[in-house]
């Protein structure tokens, strides 16, 4: 079953696995939402720490290469260390694509000022009308619509 929710307490109570879709890559974590957040944070920190170690190793190897590349007796070692530098791959650590999430709804056409106008609306049964509205209109402001009575509303209980 797939559940999509923004209520983390609900997710903690219901979920046994969490799927994370970030930059088009899907990762599945065992556990509830809190365990997923802990695991994802630890994975990111581990990746950053690994990159820091690799950068330190590259700097150390580069210093050896720059010191001994001209030395005839250490030239082979310097060449070997230069090849080691080429083999070290740094993982790209991108900020999450969820840092600034947003949803944009584009309107196909402009909304009119009055979404709905009603004149002479009556509803009732055999014993008489429940309500009678002479005129009213639903106004539209961007995506918000609200009701404005333009005349008195007669109600009968």
Task: Give, for 87, the enclosing helix (H) or strand (E).
Answer: helix 75-87
* Residue extents of the structural domains in the chain: 8-87, 114-155
pLDDT at 103: 66
pLDDT in tens, 84-128: 999 999 888 877 766 666 667 777 776 666 667 778 888 888 888
pLDDT at 140: 66
Contact 20, 27 (CB under 8 A): yes
Q: Could you tell me the pLDDT band of residue 14, with boundaries at 50, 70 and 90?
A: very high
74 pLDDT more than 50:
yes
């Amino acid at each position: 079953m797939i559940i999509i929710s923004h209520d983390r307490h609900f997710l903690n109570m219901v979920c046994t696995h969490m799927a994370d879709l970030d930059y088009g890559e899907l990762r599945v974590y065992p556990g509830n939402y809190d365990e997923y957040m802990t695991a994802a944070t630890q994975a990111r920190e581990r990746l950053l720490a690994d990159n820091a170690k690799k950068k330190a190793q590259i700097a150390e190897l580069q210093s050896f290469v720059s010191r001994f590349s001209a030395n005839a007796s250490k030239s082979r070692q310097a060449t070997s260390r230069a090849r080691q530098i080429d083999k070290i791959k740094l993982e790209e650590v991108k900020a999450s694509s969820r840092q600034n999430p947003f949803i944009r709804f584009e309107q196909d056409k402009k909304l009119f000022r009055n979404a709905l106008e009603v004149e002479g609306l009556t509803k009732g049964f055999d014993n008489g009308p429940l309500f009678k509205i002479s005129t009213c209109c639903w106004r539209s402001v961007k995506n918000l619509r609200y009701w404005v009575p333009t005349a008195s509303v007669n109600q009968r209980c």
